């Protein structure tokens, strides 16, 4: 969002707060690429752009042509707060951060884990969810019961995720001895390959793992072990304190009102 637009949005939000919302002319969105979609009130005079990868149920996913998920709902609240319309850039996960560094998006909500590498390029909001990476195997698997059994195995991950970092283990931090890491654009495709026997395991965040199991009943199961600690936060362009403050305010409000819990509860089975 351009500075002027942001100012206009803030002014609009301020006006609405004091109950003086006047006439607002509608405007069209700026991006017409296939992967973009605007949602919400088309009366808004400006748009705020969210970068995500909608392949991560329950945080962001497609339900037909509709975007759904926890991050989508939080992002809608952010747009609301700014008096703007939410525009969604649905890109490959490995390009989500680049959407911010190239100025194409205003914030990124994608079940993003805070880590050192990403902190070099973006700023993160307060944490809104804490979780872990887990291992998925076929339901009839008996050989792999923990990360110690991944030695010599072929493991699938989503490209550029913290699960990818864990499996690749470039810094030899985990020393699990995984023989081959196969990278996918979509966890759904990794799961299909696991079921078809082309992978021995998939490493994925815990809540999405449950959703993949729900979508493939009786075919895959989750191991109990917690592989990592992951704190999810919303990313903003480095130094954009205005955007960061807005995001943190919205997260605070959603937490205090209990709405954040309600949003999460909606996606529990």
Residues that bind ligand ARG (CB under 6 A): 52-53, 55-56, 60, 93, 110-113, 158, 161-162, 205, 230
Residue whose CB is less far from ligand ARG, 31 or 94: 94
CB of 155 to ligand ARG, least distance (A): 15
User: How far, in Å, are 62, 215, 236 from residue 229 at the CA level?
Assistant: 27, 25, 22
DSSP state of 148: G
In the complex with ligand ARG, the residue whose CB is nearer, 214 or 253, is 214
Size of the chain, expressed as the number of residues it contains: 269
Q: Which is nearer to ligand ARG, 9 or 187 (CB)?
A: 187
Write down the least CB distance from residue 114 to ligand ARG, Å: 8
Tell the smallest beta-carbon distance from residue 5 to ligand ARG (Å): 26
Query: Residue 138 in contact with residue 195, Cβ under 8 Å?
Result: yes
Per-residue b/e over 237-269, b at no fewer than 16 CB within 10 Å? beebeebbebbbebbeebeeeeebeebeeebee
Nearer to ligand ARG, 5 or 89 (CB): 89
241-257 vs 70-82: helix crossing angle, rounded to 10: 110
Q: How far is the CB of 3 from ligand ARG (least distance, A)?
A: 28
* Strand, coil or helix: 120: coil
Q: What is the 8-class DSSP label of residue 132?
A: -
* Comparison of 46 and 76: residue with beta carbon closer to ligand ARG: 76
Give min distance, CB of 56 to ligand ARG, in A.
3
């Amino acid at each position: 969002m351009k500075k002027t637009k942001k100012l206009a949005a803030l002014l609009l939000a301020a006006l609405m707060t004091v109950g003086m919302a006047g006439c607002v002319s509608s405007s069209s969105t700026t991006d017409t690429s296939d992967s973009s979609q605007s949602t919400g009130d088309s009366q808004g005079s400006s748009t705020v752009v969210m970068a995500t990868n909608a392949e991560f149920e329950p945080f962001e996913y497609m339900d037909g042509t509709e975007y759904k998920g926890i991050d989508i709902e939080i992002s809608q609240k952010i747009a609301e707060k700014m008096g703007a319309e939410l525009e969604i850039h649905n890109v490959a996960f490995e390009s989500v951060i680049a959407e911010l560094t190239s100025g194409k998006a205003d914030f990124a909500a994608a079940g993003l884990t805070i880590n050192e590498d990403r902190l070099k390029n973006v700023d993160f909001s307060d944490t809104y969810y804490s979780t872990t990476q887990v291992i998925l195997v076929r339901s009839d698997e008996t050989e792999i019961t923990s990360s110690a059994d991944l030695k010599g195995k072929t493991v699938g991950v989503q490209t550029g995720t913290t699960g990818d970092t864990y499996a690749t283990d470039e810094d030899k931090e985990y020393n699990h001895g995984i023989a081959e890491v196969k990278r996918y654009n979509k966890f759904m495709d990794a799961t299909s390959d696991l079921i078809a026997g082309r992978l021995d395991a998939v490493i994925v965040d815990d809540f999405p793992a449950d959703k993949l199991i729900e979508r493939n009943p009786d075919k895959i199961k989750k191991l109990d072990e917690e592989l990592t600690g992951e704190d999810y936060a919303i990313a903003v362009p480095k130094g954009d304190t205005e955007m960061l403050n807005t995001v943190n305010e919205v997260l605070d409000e959603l937490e205090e009102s209990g709405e954040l819990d309600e949003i999460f509860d909606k996606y529990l089975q």
